[in-house]
Chain A
Amino acid sequence: AQSVAQPEDQVNVAEGNPLTVKCTYSVSGNPYLFWYVQYPNRGLQFLLKYITGDNLVKGSYGFEAEFNKSQTSFHLKKPSALVSDSALYFCAVREGSGGYNKLIFGAGTRLAVHP
């Protein structure tokens, strides 16, 4: 069965510093990986995805993520954090075994960017 782990409940970063939100996954086939962000009392917004190709994926709002097959990781990164980046971040995985398969989410990591 597919699963996603986000080992950190919360990440604290000073504004202007680089940030990393960690994600590791487990699937039996090819992984399709996604990052979403959620602001309070709102739905989820899509940030970026890895399907195939270049391991470094660039997404919305200056975020990027690096797919590492050997470490089964897909960490979210941003070179310079903004206070407005403070939100709840979810990593998700879908196993590419054919058909339309459900998206499984990690537990979420709360990012707090301090001025």
Chain B
Amino acid sequence: GAVVSQHPSRVICKSGTSVKIECRSLDFQATTMFWYRQFPKKSLMLMATSNEGSKATYEQGVEKDKFLINHASLTLSTLTVTSAHPEDSSFYICSAAPGLGVTGELFFGEGSRLTVL
């Protein structure tokens, strides 16, 4: 299957600082990438849809100024958690699919665990 890489896998930061998480599609081009957030023992919550060359589409209730998404190329999307606070601590997972279409499965990165002190 296609490979999606996320970096860093773990990050600890102080409250008030910003953290950037990278998501790369290693062997395919991804016009669209998706960012999910997962709370402990909970399902994945879709945060936003990242579109190459245009603004991300955020889900209801997700602060776009808090969670900045940039999709500058067909293989890279970044999520920046700005002015992070302890409540932003979570497991963030990105996903992508090689090509558009509703029948294709998504491929997921390994996730990034953010801990805000």
Residue ranges of A at the interface with B (Cβ–Cβ < 8 Å): 32, 34, 36, 41-46, 49, 51, 90, 94-108
Interfacial chain A residues near B101, Cβ < 8 Å: 100
User: Are B44's CB and A105's CB within 8 A?
Assistant: yes
**Total CB contacts across the A-B interface at under 8 A:** 62
Contact mask B15-39 → A, CB, 8 Å, 1/0?
0000000000000000010100000
User: Are A42's CB and B32's CB within 8 A?
Assistant: no
Contact mask B84-117 → A, CB, 8 Å, 1/0?
0000000101010100111101111111010000
Q: For the complex, what is the distance from the CA of A45 to the CA of B105, rounded to whole Å?
A: 10
Residue on A nearest B106 in the bound complex, by CB: A103
Whole-angstrom distance between the Cβ of B110 and the nearest chain A Cβ: 5
Whole-angstrom distance between the Cβ of A67 and the nearest chain B Cβ: 14
Q: For the complex, what is the distance from the CA of A42 to the CA of B102, rounded to whole Å?
A: 25
Contacting residue for B43 out of A42, A94, A95, A106, CB 8 A: A106
User: Are A43's CB and B43's CB within 8 A?
Assistant: no
Sort A-B residue pairs by CB-CB distance and give the 5 closest, nearest first.
A43-B108, A44-B108, A107-B43, A43-B110, A96-B102
Contacting residue for A102 out of B46, B93, B110, CB 8 A: B46
User: Are B102's CB and A43's CB within 8 A?
Assistant: no
Q: For the complex, what is the distance from the CA of A76 to the CA of B42, rounded to whole Å?
A: 19
Q: Is B77 an interface residue (CB 8 A)?
A: no
Residue on A nearest B6 in the bound complex, by CB: A43
Contacting residue for A46 out of B32, B43, B44, B107, CB 8 A: B107
Q: Is B49 an interface residue (CB 8 A)?
A: yes
Interfacial chain A residues near B113, Cβ < 8 Å: 41
**A-B contacts, 11 listed (Cβ < 8 Å):** A34-B105, A34-B106, A43-B4, A43-B6, A43-B111, A46-B107, A94-B102, A95-B102, A103-B46, A105-B43, A108-B43
Interfacial chain B residues near A108, Cβ < 8 Å: 42-43
Known: A90-B44, A102-B49. A45 touches B108 (CB 8 A): yes
